[in-house]
Amino acid sequence: MDHQAPEAPLLQLDRLNSYYGPVQVHFDLSLSVPAGQIVCLLGGNASGKSTTMKAILGLTRPHSGTVRFAGQPITGLPTPEIVRRGISSVPEARRLFPAMTVQENLLMGAYIRSDARAIGQDLDRVLERFPRLRERLRQRAGTLSGGEQQMVAMARALMGRPRLICMDEPTMGLSPLFVERVLDLIQEINRDGVSVFMVEQNASLALRIAHFAYVLQSGLIVLSGPPGRMLSDARIRDAYLGGEPGL
């Protein structure tokens, strides 16, 4: 490792090569999430962002390379074991159980645990952060608005008491008001000590809250750095971030 941080990162992906059948999706993908930070993976459609999340969570197994969490290799472990070690996810399109109530969905986030009293306390603690959900505990999740469903997905992820939350396009399809709320919540969760790995297509939104960002293009990391540097370089904006004038 040529630039080893003084303290080992919480999450480290080291030269992952992932395939779907014969099609290669990641090419020597390496990245890391230091403890306590919000790290963002940017990239356009089909660049391999969601596959990165799946590789971290054990939902796809890379052909080669290593995923390390808290210093331990977790590549190839079953997903429940990875969750037990402290990683939870807010997947693409939220993936709630639409016919179940909000409360039932939230309790699914603690399914690996059996300490009923602590789970009840955690539900209370999580609902303090999401008061809107407390009023809707008995409502079927499928009848919530998109923004409310995103909140259920985030609250459910927190029920597992994670050290790291992986989020796949958390602001996708939300109204501007809910986008702001979700970005605020991500920062609040991070301030509570949870590290965040966030996948986003919307660079201008993600760079507002990230401590560090990577840009993925066709399965290759083509750029990485702190948001300030990416935003201040017009060539980078034009080449990799869509040259959005709002950036």
Q: Applying CB under 6 A, which residues contact ligand ATP? A: 20, 25, 43, 45-51, 201
Q: How far is residue 68's CA from residue 193's CA, in Å, rounded to a whole number?
A: 19
Q: How far is residue 2's CA from residue 63's CA, in Å, rounded to a whole number?
A: 23
> Is the Cβ of residue 130 or residue 197 nearer to ligand ATP in the bound state?
197
Q: What is the DSSP letter of 244?
A: -
Residue 114 interface partner, choices Mg ion, ligand ATP, none, CB cut-off 5-8 Å depending on type: none
Residue 227 interface partner, choices ligand ATP, Mg ion, none, CB cut-off 5-8 Å depending on type: none
Q: Closest approach of Cβ 79 to Mg ion, in Å?
A: 18
- Nearest of 95, 10, 13 to residue 52 by alpha carbon: 13
Residue 47 interface partner, choices Mg ion, ligand ATP, none, CB cut-off 5-8 Å depending on type: ligand ATP
Residue 201 interface partner, choices Mg ion, ligand ATP, none, CB cut-off 5-8 Å depending on type: ligand ATP
Using CB under 5 A, which residues numbered 20 to 59 contact Mg ion? 49-50
> Is the Cβ of residue 109 or residue 170 nearer to Mg ion in the bound state?
170
Structure tokens at 176: 């501007």
Q: What Rg, from alpha-carbon coordinates, does the chain have?
A: 18
The DSSP element (H or E) to which 29 belongs, if any, is strand 29-33
How many residues touch Mg ion under the rule CB under 5 A: the total is 2
3-class secondary structure, 134: helix
